[in-house]
Amino acid sequence: MENLIRGRVYKFGDNINSDIIIPGRYLIYIDPEKLAQHAFEVLGDGFPDKLRAFHIFVAGRNFGCGSAREQAVTAIMGLGIKAVIASSFSRTFYRNAINSGLPIIECPELYEAVTEGDDIEIDLTGTISHKERLIPFPKFPDSVRELLELGGLAEYLKAQQRKLQTS
Amino acid sequence: MGMTIAEKILAKKSGQKSVAPGQIVDAYPDLVMSHTATWRSVSVMEKAGATKLFDPERIAIVLDHISPAKTEKNALDQQKSRNFAREYGIRKFYDIDAGIAHLVLMEAGHVGPGDLIVGTDSHCTIYGSLGALGTGIGYTEVTSVWLTGKLWMKIPDTYRIQLNGAFGKGVYSKDLMLHLIGTLGADGCTYKSVEFYGDMIAGLSVSERMTMTNLAMEMGVKCAFVPPDAKTREYLDGRLKGRAYQEIQADADAVYSREIVVDLDNLGPMVACPHEVENTKPIAEVAGTHIDQVFLGSCANAKYEDLAVAAGILKGRHIHPGVRFIITPGSREIMLEAMRTGVLATLVESGGVLTNPGCGACAGDGGILADGEVCLSTANRNFLGRMGSSKAEIYLCSPATLAASALTGVISDPRN
């Protein structure tokens, strides 16, 4: 995984729940593209198509709350989103993001500072560059870093199986 | 230093003498539950090229969402889950007749005090009603636990919730939880463990405790507990079939990061308004709101006691002609008991329509709402578009408030 993620920010508010991210009726899919077609559609108003012009989500408190559905992460990745930054996350969304290989960062400071459409640069070793500012965030633990680098838990399991079969 | 219930269970399941909040451990769950999502975990396992499970006895599968199958795609997915269970000798497999996974697993004696249970559903927190640590994970992580037997877990810090006084007439643990979620917020307990205490708990049924630990999810908890006691033992008697277990209680000197006190004497019926569970109001503020549909269902409030409370209010009466009343018992065991006691007959005579046990309309399977419609529901979520149209509205309440409102066609106080 590249250490640098650059892109344009789409900004959400607080308590964006996983039923908004992907309604339950689409959980029959696991394919990122199919899920992305219906992501955020309950919000109406040009969703999800208008999100395709953005690369990074920034949100307020409790992003991804509600259902533990992993497809909430898959759908966001299907939209081409490279990272999600929020003031805080629900624990299931946070865990599913790491397990899916989607960089996820808690940074209330950026949420306060950023405006929709701003370009930012994330250095996964611990800083976000926004306008003239460099905003630090806590370093990922090594195990999380490893999962992100491998592209998620499914890839990790594949690698483990290969190891088992060759040993 | 003393430990809380979550700390003790996670220490035990990770082979540590003691643990502290913030510490990350490799824990070995007693049970990993997957529901309708099972086929996805099977797909991940196939893609990984794995064929060996850590322990089939630690796996439980219940087909509860969208069951029986509604489409050929659902049918194929269920077939994949069924074939997996057969091929790998999963004995704790429950098909479409059983009901909602959480209730089925507790009824079948697969959940005991002190257990660590993870599963593909956020409302796994409900297992804390029996003193077990339950928490939700994604389907890929379920595969990982199937194969390795373990997962990393962070030790949460714990909030202590002290309940003083007692529920008044027409007030239930659903009202308590809506009050708490409204006060603390949808993220008020994110990543926390929560323990409930208070003299009134000794008299509280396991059914009411299930509603508490289930709804606790809606304030973001990782897990929630009602410490095991005589009521727990009474519920487990005959269910655990001789299986030994150890009741885990918090130490007297356990450290809590926050104490929250609730005065139940002053608590009245509560309603969660669209489109977030934290948007709660005392019933007086929403009484008179027009409703088109009522849904008596979900893992929060479709247990036998919930159906019986509603039946007690509806007996000998008929619901308002403008209201559709959907009854979805939580499990087959619940449905059978309600059949034997006449509770189901009362509900159907009052104008209700009975569906098969399972998640049903709570997860948008049947009972779909059209534009502009309003549903009053005993479920645990009222999110935008969850039950169909994103121009529909969902209000959440207790079974008593639901029954009183079904009679009048508007949200109504069950105490009147």
The confidence score (pLDDT) of residue A141 equals 87
Are residues B50 and A25, on separate chains, in Cβ contact within 8 Å? no
* Cβ-based interface (< 8 Å): residues of A facing B: 15, 17, 19-20, 23-25, 27-28, 30, 42-44, 61-62, 65-70, 73, 88-92, 95-96, 99-100, 141, 143, 152-154, 156-158, 160-162, 165
Q: Give B248's contacts (C-beta < 8 A, 6+ positions apart).
A: B5, B8, B9, B12, B113, B114, B131, B228
Are residues B276 and A17, on separate chains, in Cβ contact within 8 Å? yes
Are residues B43 and A30, on separate chains, in Cβ contact within 8 Å? yes
The confidence score (pLDDT) of residue B241 equals 85
The confidence score (pLDDT) of residue A1 equals 64
| Of the partner residues A43, A65, A165, the one whose CB lies closest to the CB of residue B220 | A65
Could you list the beta-strand ranges (E) of B95-182.
Answer: 116-119, 133-136, 151-154, 158-164
Distant-in-sequence contacts of A141-144, Cβ < 8 A, 24+ apart: A141/B24, A143/B24, A143/B152, A144/A98
Are residues B190 and A158, on separate chains, in Cβ contact within 8 Å? no
Q: Residue A109's domain spans which residues?
A: 4-166
Number of Cβ within 10 Å of residue A83's Cβ equals 21
Give the 3-state secondary structure of residue B206. helix
Is the Cβ of B23 closer than 8 Å to some Cβ of chain A?
no
**Cα-based torsion angle of the residue sequence A154, A156, A157, A162 in order, rounded to the nearest 10 degrees:** 130
Angstrom distance (rounded) from CA B61 to CA A44: 36
Are residues B47 and A69, on separate chains, in Cβ contact within 8 Å? no
Residue in chain A nearest B71 by alpha carbon: A28
Are residues A91 and B191, on separate chains, in Cβ contact within 8 Å? yes
* Four-residue CA torsion sign, B297, B303, B309, B315: positive
Residues of A in contact with B39 (CB under 8 A): none
CA distance B371 to chain A (A): 12
Is the Cβ of B243 closer than 8 Å to some Cβ of chain A?
no
CA A46 to chain centre: 21
Residue A167 has pLDDT above 80, yes or no: no
Domains of chain B (ranges; CATH) run 5-15+23-242+249-262 (3.30.499.10), 270-408 (3.30.499.10)
| Of the partner residues A89, A92, A157, the one whose CB lies closest to the CB of residue B147 | A157
Angstrom distance (rounded) from CA A13 to CA A160: 39
Of A41, A78, A73, the residue nearest B139 (C-alpha) = A73
Widest CA span in chain B:
62
The confidence score (pLDDT) of residue B242 equals 83
Residue A2 has pLDDT above 80, yes or no: no
Per-residue pLDDT tens digits for A26-78: 999 999 999 999 999 999 999 999 999 999 999 999 999 999 999 999 999 99
CA distance B284 to chain A (A): 26
CA distance A141 to chain B (A): 10
Residue B40 DSSP code: H
The confidence score (pLDDT) of residue A166 equals 86
Residues of A in contact with B74 (CB under 8 A): 28
Which CATH number is A155's domain given? 3.20.19.10
Chain B residues 29-88 with a CB less than 8 Å from chain A: 36-37, 40, 43-45, 47-50, 65-66, 71, 73-74, 77
Count of structural domains within chain A: 1
CA distance A117 to chain B (A): 26
Are residues B138 and A99, on separate chains, in Cβ contact within 8 Å? yes
Complex prediction ipTM: 0.94
Tell me the average confidence (pLDDT) per consecutive run of 10 residues in chain B, 416 residues long: 96 97 96 97 97 98 96 97 98 98 98 98 98 98 98 97 98 98 97 98 98 98 98 96 92 98 98 98 98 98 98 98 98 98 98 98 94 98 96 98 98 97
